[in-house]
Amino acid sequence: MKPTVEQALKEIERVVGAEHLLTDTATLSRYSVNMLATADILPAAVVRPTSTEELQQVLKIANTCKTPVWTLSGGQNRGYGMACAATPGTLIIDLKRMNRILEVNVELAYALVEPGVTFAQLYRYLRDNDIPLWMDVPSGSPEGSCLGNITERGAGYTPLGEKFLFSCGMEVVLADGQVLRTGTGTLPNSQTWQVFKWGYGPSLDGLFTQSNFGIVTKAGFWLMPRPPAYEPLAVTMDDPEAVYKAVEILRPLKLNMVIPNGACVTHVRKALGLTACWGEGKNILPRVGRRFDYPAETLKALKETYALGEWNFAGALYGLPETVRTYRGIVEDAFRSALPGCRFLSAEEQAASPYWRAREKAMRGEPLWEFDMSDWEGKAGALWISPVAPVTNEAVEQQIRIAEETYAKYGFHYAAELILGTGRDLHHIIWLLFDRSDAEERRRAELCEREMYDRYCEVGYLPYRTGLSTGDYLMRKLGPFRDICHDLKQLFDPNNILSPGKSGIDLANRS
Ligand code: ADP
């Protein structure tokens, strides 16, 4: 007879203890909110293992009983779905209790952590132990998982912003309970697991990012030595067209590593949305309007109060005082000659504005909340639509035009940030805020998101990540790649128990 979910849960309870297998309604509803889904996606239960060994046992049972599971590390997947599975009835595996910082190596500047380690936790650890290393943080939530952000290939604001690029070595539990270590960790006594990414033979780490081929239980990543000099740069630009010139100015500065960090060019609506999250900026919430819908006069006044332009550049310089001074001159010359109307804010002006204060902190790895704006009255829906563009003015112009046209069609307002990675690519992170409690508006948001994906893919721009409810929609555009992901899924997880539908891989019965 086919084992039931109830039987699986009973056996799993014996492994983790009754207090760590939760089935009460309040807990289940906390893990059921997907921003766009028309109904809550209720899980069957939530299990909280405390070690790799416990997780191995849980997966062996789930695999034998063919019980689908969904993995969460920090459960803060804001803008891309929240703490929720793609389909109802799964067993949520919440790895929060696996929260040990296993190693911070000061000499070689790296960390090895379990999935439950949050940005806030690692930040406090470095600070309280006076360790002269900086970490990278994404926007969003200090309670997010350092490891989860690597598996999602998140982007941050320091020179180590490309999280997966700067990760080094993973431990992964496969669907049948086997443990795999990647990189040089394939040698059990490896002395180079967190210092050399590639190991010997095929490099497998990428297979465990944005996928459902395994559950990552340890990840290494690099930290940066605290530099002797650090200078945040804040430049405001009033001309709505300035963004295109800014991209051209920044490309050589990024390619030549004058500006080494995940530098941003942010539209005023997004900057104000963020301003509303911090300190005195919270006062503007009632005036802001839920959907970035500001009357022109209000917008003008808010720009003045918070030292913002129509577009706002935040980047930083790191190094010796003399190199930072020289680089500052190079950056100023580049901006002033191409954009004479731009304004470099002084340190005092930056300190007086919640937005610029927050940027300054993020660029040296201090975690911050960015989501109060999307929490109004407990019913805000927030989505990020994130196509990647090459760093050229033509591409950025094309991407912004598509966003503005599509948002106008569905009655939303463009609010975005361009995060420049290596100097070649930029993440165009477009915020979509809507009222979740209004079914009509939620439906409009969903249609808008899908049309954005249609239009971007049509002209060759893939998003770097999607929300839970659009993985399948996007994956269906990718033809043979979708088939190969399916074949790999068969190989790693023939019973399709691990996060069915993650990134659109094997949502249910394939069609
Ligand atoms: P964060 O708190 O960093 O935002 P979440 O815990 O919300 O991250 O996870 C976001 C997504 O990343 C999850 O929906 C899941 O698909 C994937 N994920 C999280 N943790 C792991 C892990 N340990 N192994 C594999 N995938 C993971």
CA-only gyration radius of the chain, Å: 23
Residues in the chain with pLDDT values less than 70? 1-2, 37-38, 81, 277-292, 370-379, 509-511
| Angle subtended at Cα 307 by Cα 306 and Cα 308, rounded to the nearest 5 degrees | 95
510 belongs to a structural domain: no
72, 145: one domain: no
418, 312: one domain: yes
CA–CA dist 332, 318 (Å, integer) = 16
Q: 445 is written with which tokens? A: 């948001």
The last residue of a domain, from among 63, 94, 125: 94
Q: Which residue has the tokens 């033979």?
A: 201
338, 425: one domain: yes
pLDDT, one tens digit per residue, over 264-304 is: 999 998 898 877 766 666 666 554 555 667 788 888 988 99
Distances in Å between the alpha carbon of 360 and those of 163, 368, 408?
19, 11, 33
Question: What residues are in contact with ligand 1 under a 6 Å CB criterion?
Answer: 71-77, 83, 95, 115, 144-145, 147-149, 151-152, 215-216, 499, 502
Q: What CATH number is associated with residue 204? A: 3.30.465.10
Q: Which atom of ligand 1 is nearest to the CA of 468?
A: 14
pLDDT at residue 434, as a whole number: 83
User: 330: CA distance to ligand 1 center in Å?
Assistant: 40
456, 410: one domain: yes
3-state DSSP call for residue 458? helix
481, 401: one domain: no
Q: Which residue among 145, 180, 221, 469 is best mutated to probe the pocket of ligand 1, counting the most ligand atoms within 8 A of its Cβ?
A: 145
341, 444: one domain: yes
User: 135: CA distance to ligand 1 center in Å?
Assistant: 19
* ipTM tops 0.95: yes
- Are the C-beta atoms of 246 and 311 separated by less than 8 Å? yes
pLDDT at residue 287, as a whole number: 47
So which residues are the catalytic ones? 80, 464-465
Q: Which residue among 112, 139, 151, 153 is best mutated to probe the pocket of ligand 1, counting the most ligand atoms within 8 A of its Cβ?
A: 151
Residue nearest to atom 9 of ligand 1 (CA): 72
60, 77: one domain: yes
pLDDT at residue 500, as a whole number: 96
Count: domains in the chain: 4
107 belongs to a structural domain: yes
Q: Which residue among 77, 91, 384 is best mutated to probe the pocket of ligand 1, counting the most ligand atoms within 8 A of its Cβ?
A: 77
Q: What CATH number is associated with residue 38? A: 3.30.43.10
Per-residue DSSP letter, 4: P
Quick one: 481 exposed, middle or buried, by C-beta within 10 A (0-12, 13-18, 19+)? Answer: exposed
User: 238: CA distance to ligand 1 center in Å?
Assistant: 39
Q: Which atom of ligand 1 is nearest to the CA of 82?
A: 7
As a whole number of Å, the end-to-end CA separation of the chain is 28
User: 331: CA distance to ligand 1 center in Å?
Assistant: 37
337, 446: one domain: yes
